A and B are shown apart, each in its own frame.
Chain A
């Protein structure tokens, strides 16, 4: 099992460009998440999904969109990148929700720089 994989690993964008980050998991998890990690800020939830075809906003959703067309994939889109979106992006998945006490499995991250 590969666990949670993310592509690409690194990306440099110019302001205004768009891109999509792909997250894939092979653990048959229902829940998937996108976080961003900035120095001294910890992990902040961008969007999440509680199942195929569902998405919901997290703590910092502005400037991002997501889609969960297949259970194993969760896509994060930046329509018009801004320098403030320079960050490390982590995808995570879990079998169930927090009420059930399920741990989250993280991908290796995507380092994005917006010039």
Chain B
């Protein structure tokens, strides 16, 4: 079945350093979504990428979708303590009715 792999599993950074998490799918995706889950909280939607090679920015966050639509990345510039949490990518194959396959997430901790 379809798998979505996400690395790294954990990332510890000093405040101000950059952070990147990578997502790879075993199959071509129709689109990919990114979610953030704060400690003790629930996943919250960040963004969706649909087009091959698409790049979207949200302030210090940059999201990319690979040309082959099988991989994606989230890059945070100059991390802040408010960035702490687990970041999940979630891909869909377009054939399912609303189903997403979630990666296992990257847990980010930021040292002030």
Q: Which residues of A contact B (CB under 8 A)?
A: 31, 33, 35, 40-45, 48, 50, 56, 58-59, 90, 92, 94, 96-99, 101-109
Whether B42 pairs with A41 at a CB distance below 8 angstroms is: no
Whether B100 pairs with A104 at a CB distance below 8 angstroms is: yes
Whether B42 pairs with A50 at a CB distance below 8 angstroms is: no
Residues of B contacting A: mostly: loop
Q: List residues of B (70-91) whose CB comes within 8 Å of A's CBs.
A: 88, 90
Among the listed B45, B101, B102, which residue makes an inter-chain contact with A105, where contact means beta carbons less than 8 Å apart? B45
Tell which of B43, B44, B88, B101 has the most Cβ of chain A within 10 Å.
B43
Q: Which residues of B contact A (CB under 8 A)?
A: 1, 6, 9, 30-31, 33, 41-45, 48, 50, 88, 90, 92, 94, 96-105
> A1 → chain B, closest Cβ, in Å?
16
> B56 → chain A, closest Cβ, in Å?
13
Name the A residues within 8 Å of B105 (CB-CB).
42
> A108 → chain B, closest Cβ, in Å?
5
